[in-house]
Amino acid sequence: MKLFPKKQKESKPSPRIAVEKMQTYSAPLEGRRELLRLDFNENTIGPSPLVVEALSQIPRSAISIYPEYSGLKEAVIENLKGLQDKSNLNTSEIGLFNGVDAAIHAIFHAYGNPNDLLLTTTPTFGYYTPCAQMQGMKIHAIPYEGKNFDFPFSRIYKALTKLKPKILMICNPNNPTGTRLKAERILELARAMPTTLVVVDELYEAFTGDSVFPRIDFAKTQNLIILRSLAKTAGLAGLRIGFALGHKSLIERVGRVTGPYDINSFAVTAALAALKDQAYVDNYVSEVLVAKEWIANQLQNSGIRHHIDGGNYFLIWPKENASKIEEALKKSGVLVRNMNKKHLIEGSLRVSIGTKEQMKRFWEVFQKISFI
C-alpha cells in the first residue's frame, strides 16, 4: 500500500465556484395550456389580433436569415411617447432583450463583480437572486413592513448609504406583494448613491401607472435603469421580448454582454405589431381592473385573509394547507402559484387577475374547495 496515494485527477471540467454553489432555477411551466392559468401573471386572453396577423404573414425567407432590429427602438419610443408624454428619449437609451429576464441577467453580468453587494427587498421576484449568485455577489434583502407589506424605505436608504451596494433592485409594483413606491422616492434613492446602479423592474406598472419613467431625465440620472416587457399586458410572454431604458452608457455596457441575435425574428415582428396597437393593451388593462375590483369585493366580504395592491395579482391565505388547495384547484382546472418558502407570505397563494369571467370561475371553484 502506498503511504501517499496520488491525488485523483479531476475527470471532468469544473464550473465556476459561484455556479457550483447555485441551484437550478425552476418554475412549474409544463402542461398548462388547457387550464385557467392564474399562476404567472400573464395576459389571460392572448395578444392583439394584429400581432397574430403579422406573425402569420412572416415570409419564408425571414426564417432563414438572422433577425433584423431596425425600427424596433423607434417603435418603442413612439409607443412610450403616446403613453407617457415624453419626447426626449433616444434610441441609445433603449436596450432590447430576449425578455426582461435576459435584461436582468445581462445587467448583473455587466455590473456584478464577485463579492459586490446586491441590495433588494424580500419577498420579491425570484430571478434576481440567481443572477446575483452567478456573479458571486452577496445579497442583502430587507423585508417589506407591516401587514400591508409597505416598502421598507428608511431601512433601504440606510443600507444604501452605509453599505454602498453595486446594485439596488426595486420591483415596482412588487411581485408578489403588489407594493408600490412613488417615483420621487426612487429618484431620492438614486440620488443618494450615484455609484449604485438602481434597477427598477416595472413589469406591472401598467395596472396602476407606477412608473419612474415620466419623471426621469437620463442625462441627469445616470445610475438608473427601467425594465419593461411585452410579456404581461401585451400578451407576448411566449415570444420573449423586453426592454431596458437608461443612460446611454449603461445601455451600452449591458449591450456588451448580450448576444448579437438574442431576440428572434418572430418576437421582433410581434413586438412591432403590439407596440402599434396600444388600444388593445389599454382595453385589456381596463378589463383586468374591472375584474380586480370585483374580486377585491368578494375577498373583502368573505373575510378570508388576502392582500391586493398593485399589479395584476393578489395573495390569498386559504384556511387549510395552501399546497392542498393549490392541488385541488389544479384538479378543477385552475392554476395558481404557491408562495411556500417565500419570506413573510408563507401559506399564501398568488392568484393572477384576468377577466371578470375568469375571476368568477376562480372564485366559484375556490369557495367550493376551501369551504369559505
Ligand X SMILES: Cc1ncc(COP(=O)(O)O)c(C=O)c1O
Q: Which residues bind ligand X (CB under 6 A)?
A: 40-41, 99-101, 125, 171, 175, 201, 203, 229, 231, 237, 242
User: In angstroms, rounded to a whole number, what is the distance separating the alpha carbons of residues 103 and 228?
Assistant: 10
Task: Name the residue nearer to ligand X (CB basis): 180 or 369.
Answer: 180
Closest CA to 141 of 161, 170, 115: 170
**Minimum distance from residue 199 beta carbon to ligand X (Å):** 10
**Minimum distance from residue 100 beta carbon to ligand X (Å):** 3
Task: Name the residue nearer to ligand X (CB basis): 96 or 369.
Answer: 96
146: left (phi over 0), alpha (psi -120 to 50) or beta: left
Task: Name the residue nearer to ligand X (CB basis): 200 or 369.
Answer: 200
**Minimum distance from residue 255 beta carbon to ligand X (Å):** 17
**Minimum distance from residue 68 beta carbon to ligand X (Å):** 21
**Minimum distance from residue 231 beta carbon to ligand X (Å):** 3
Longest dimension (CA), the chain: 81
Residues in CB range of 43: below 8 A, 6 or more apart: 232, 233, 234, 235, 237, 284
Please answer whether residues 305 and 316 qualify as being in contact, where contact means their C-beta atoms are separated by less than 8 angstroms.
Answer: yes
Task: Name the residue nearer to ligand X (CB basis): 105 or 253.
Answer: 105
Residue recorded with cell 419564408: 60
3-class secondary structure, 176: coil
Closest residue to ligand X, judged by C-beta, is 99
Task: Name the residue nearer to ligand X (CB basis): 263 or 359.
Answer: 263
**Minimum distance from residue 203 beta carbon to ligand X (Å):** 4
Residues in CB range of 18: below 8 A, 6 or more apart: 114, 133, 134, 135, 136
Task: Name the residue nearer to ligand X (CB basis): 125 or 314.
Answer: 125
**Minimum distance from residue 153 beta carbon to ligand X (Å):** 19
User: In angstroms, rounded to a whole number, what is the distance separating the alpha carbons of residues 323 and 333?
Assistant: 15
Residues in CB range of 305: below 8 A, 6 or more apart: 316, 317
Query: Which helix (DSSP H) or strand (DSSP E) does residue 242 occupy?
Result: strand 242-246
Task: Name the residue nearer to ligand X (CB basis): 306 or 337.
Answer: 337
3-class secondary structure, 238: coil
Please answer whether residues 199 and 331 qualify as being in contact, where contact means their C-beta atoms are separated by less than 8 angstroms.
Answer: no
